[in-house]
Amino acid sequence: MRAAITVGLVGALVLLGGGAANASPPGFDPLGGLPLPVADLLRAVLAPVVQLAVDAWNFFGALSS
């Protein structure tokens, strides 16, 4: 009985969360004013750099706690 209630509640929350995510407009694109090839190149270059910075931030944040 508890498992059925849990599955039902999780399913309802997933459906509600998906609806809220679809209702939210996309954020501002800082590279939107650039030509598409340039914006794609910048995204391809900056994505690994930003990911490395985020990983380092999380590593040292976890290390300090």
Whether 3 maps to a domain, the answer reads yes
Please tell me the total count of domains within the chain. Answer: 1
Summarize pLDDT for 31-53 with one digit per residue, the tens. Answer: 888 899 998 999 999 999 999 99
Integer Cα distance of 48 and 42 in angstroms: 11
The whole domain housing 58 covers 1-23+33-64
Q: What would the pLDDT profile of 51-60 be if each residue is shown by its tens digit?
A: 999 999 999 9
Task: Please report, rounded to a whole number, the percentage of residues in the chain having pLDDT higher than 70.
Answer: 83
Instruction: Let me know if residue 28 belongs to a domain.
Output: no
Taking residues 1-21, report their average pLDDT.
77
Banded model confidence at residue 21, pLDDT cuts 50, 70, 90: low
Residue 53 lies in a domain: yes
pTM over 0.85: no
Q: Are 42 and 31 in contact (CB under 8 A)?
A: yes
